[in-house]
Chains A and B, each alone.
Chain A
Amino acid sequence: MTGTMAAPGAQVRTRTPLLEARDVSKYFGAVVALEGVSLSVSAGEVVCLLGDNGAGKSTLIKILSGVFEPDSGVLAVNGETVRFGSPRDALDAGVATVYQDLAVMPLMSVSRNFFLGNEPTIGWGPFKRFDSLTAAVKSKEEMHRIGIEIRDTDQAVGTLSGGERQTLAIARAEHFGARVLILDEPTSALGVKESAIVLRHVIAARNRGLGVIFITHSVQHALPIGDTFTILSRGRHGGTFRRAELDADQLHRLMGGGEEFAELERELATLVETPFGVDDDAAPETAGTPSGS
């Protein structure tokens, strides 16, 4: 897979990466989920992690976010080796993960969602209570900052659109001190305009100096925002490339299944050629719509 492009090690890094995985492997019994994969993200950089279903993307994210520990290989934060025993460890190290479906509670209000797990409190001892006023004011500010205007922060998150929910989750992670954002397929369930909201916000986060790992299988979404692209294929490293090094077609091919996709395209093309209701004589009815009926 890597043979077609320049060697992955070609890029020279001057900054210490915020988060780095070196040569990590993970096995589930006899199954090789991930073998010898490396990935790093620096401040102000969007790293797109691409791969087909089953390529090992989820496993790698779970290692980076502290859900799994790798069987071999190490993680490093700011160049120092770390061990993430739990998602909390990763959060404390400034690594926040936003999962596609598991980001927010649709039935809870915007402000309660925003501060879930990090609730501001007021008072002390048994009278220490949730500071709903601060929560409302701050979450409204944050929502305004990311371009979502809401009437009041008591409204349920379920009333926001899919893109707005993802954006809320991203803004929340950033607000609570994330330096590295891991976004797990944030756009895969969204329409075009909704995706645009999220992508715009990803760029904004990058420009504020965050490191972003953007997981997707959409080349369309990856190409405009990625600084580097790491490809996973069947649990193995399929190469890391800078943006200038490749275009959409190459990226498609590298994602694995490029050959199969080309074949599928040909097969579909021949199927499309066969119009409805026509069997053997194959009357060419492709362009003209029959006038009258």
Chain B
Amino acid sequence: MATTPADSSEESAPARLRQVSLIQRLLARPAAGAAIIVIFVWLVFAAISITSNSFVFLGLKGTLSYLDVAAQVGIIGTSVALLMIAGEFDLSVGSLVGFAGIVIGILVVEFNVPIWLAIIISMAATTGLGVINGLIVVRTGLPSFIVTLATLFIIRGMTQAITAEITNITYIPMGRERVAADPIAWMFNWSGGPTGDFKVSIIWWVVMAVIGAYILGRTRFGNWIAGVGGSASAARNVGVPVARVKITLFAFTAFSASLLATIQSMTFFSADVLRGRGIELDAITTAVIGGTILAGGYGSVVGAAIGALALGMARIGIVFASINADWYFASIGTLLLVSVVLNNWIRRRFAGIR
């Protein structure tokens, strides 16, 4: 857009700008591409449902089941998007889900700790590991991609090793009755609604997304997040506490992992070392579909939530459409590629950012 230098030697030359329509302004928002993608995905599966005469995907039950899948990814996706906007990655978030669940399982089964207390301890310990991730990244100045790849292996490996050491198995059942008797477990495993398919995970997802969007868009801290991702040194020059911002976001990401782990372990009445495998890549995918750019400094929590919705729809839609589930990964890959191209184009065309 503004590639030509100044127009004339006149002082205060009129700005080379034109009025833009509401649609163009909506398209200038980072989540615009994700919105187009999710509508497209829905239309595709709606069309498949109608042509194959099975309307599960379009019904309440189908909708609630893809919302549950979207919620599980979206809980992580919110915090990962914030972290990516600040210019960092957390590949260890999946291993943290496994770790957090196992901490609950071991405390409850091996040490007879009440479930509610185990949940609190697990959340605190997991968030602590997030702080350690952040400290390593900030102190060493290494790329977080490498640091958290290392901590992914370390945390997953240690979780498996210690679990095997203590319990001889990698799966810890806690017992349905025990979970049902706990005063706070319902907050994580409640389900209801007319069909009983409305999962409480959906509420957590919405809560996390609303908090994340509020922080990013409406607080000083949110401005710092984008600033740190845009240029850490420029942010430091104007007095932004860069290290604190990054460490806080690593901690928040780890906390979201412990939240998902709690929801899963309360829902399945068990812990499993392998839970959360691959969710780090799902979360990055949702953030990128949602308009967050890999280099940091630009992105959207709302976009990430919409991205998670697209992922959930695709995963469940493929099952309902009786397509071999192996096609899920191929379709997600395609979706990711298409949305990046779309987002780039929109950003250049409507936001005027090159």
By a beta-carbon cutoff of 8 Å, the part of chain A in contact with chain B is 87-88, 91, 97, 99, 102-108, 112, 115-119, 121, 128-130, 132, 147-151, 155-156, 158-161, 163, 172, 191, 193-194, 196-197
Contacts and interface: CB of A to CB of B under 8 A. Distances in A.
Closest 5 CB pairs of A and B: A105-B230, A117-B238, A149-B15, A107-B298, A159-B352
A108 B9 contact: no
B14 interface: yes
Contact of B353 (A87, A117, A121, A156): A156
A105 B297 contact: yes
A108 B230 contact: yes
A104 B234 contact: yes
B318 interface: no
Nearest to B295: A107
B238 A116 contact: yes
A108 B233 CA distance: 15
Contact of A194 (B5, B239, B298): B5
Contacts of A156: 351-353
Interface string B227-253: 100110111111110000000000000
Nearest to B236: A87
Nearest to B18: A151
A187 B353 CA distance: 22
18 contacts: A87-B237, A88-B239, A102-B233, A102-B237, A105-B227, A105-B230, A107-B230, A112-B223, A119-B223, A121-B220, A128-B219, A147-B12, A150-B15, A150-B17, A151-B19, A156-B353, A194-B5, A194-B6
Interface string B61-88: 0000000000000000000000000000
A121 B231 CA distance: 23
Contacts of B20: 151
Contacts of A108: 226-227, 230, 297-298
Nearest to B4: A161
Given A108-B226, A129-B218, A155-B352, A102 B231 contact: yes
Contacts of B139: none
B11 interface: yes
Contact of B354 (A104, A132, A158): A158
Interface string B23-41: 0000000000000000000
B222 interface: yes
B238 A161 contact: no
A119 B220 contact: yes
Contacts of A196: 6, 9
Given A105-B230, A128-B220, A149-B14, 19 more contacts: A99-B237, A102-B234, A107-B293, A107-B353, A108-B230, A116-B240, A117-B235, A118-B238, A119-B220, A129-B214, A130-B223, A155-B351, A155-B352, A158-B354, A159-B352, A159-B353, A160-B2, A163-B5, A196-B9
Contacts of A159: 1-2, 352-353
Contacts of A97: 237
A126 to B, nearest CB: 10
A88, A130, A149: most-surrounded residue (chain B CB, <10 A): A130
Contacts of B19: 151
B6 A129 contact: no
A193 B17 CA distance: 19
A191 B239 CA distance: 30
Contacts of B297: 105, 107-108
A109 to B, nearest CB: 9
A158 B235 contact: no
A102 B236 CA distance: 10
B225 to A, nearest CB: 11
A191 B5 contact: yes
B219 A130 contact: yes
Nearest to A161: B2
A190 to B, nearest CB: 9
Nearest to B227: A116
Contacts of A172: 238
Nearest to B234: A102
B353 A158 contact: yes
B231 to A, nearest CB: 6
A155 B214 CA distance: 20
Contact of B231 (A105, A117, A151, A193): A105
A213 B236 CA distance: 21
Contacts of B214: 129
Contact of A130 (B6, B220, B293, B351): B220
A155 B19 CA distance: 13
Contacts of A99: 233-234, 237
Contacts of B219: 128-130
B5 A161 contact: yes
Interface string B194-230: 0000000000000000000010011110111011001
A161 B354 CA distance: 12
Contact of B218 (A106, A107, A130, A147): A130
B186 to A, nearest CB: 26
A118 B230 contact: no
A254 to B, nearest CB: 31
Contacts of B352: 155-156, 158-159
A203 to B, nearest CB: 13
B224 to A, nearest CB: 8
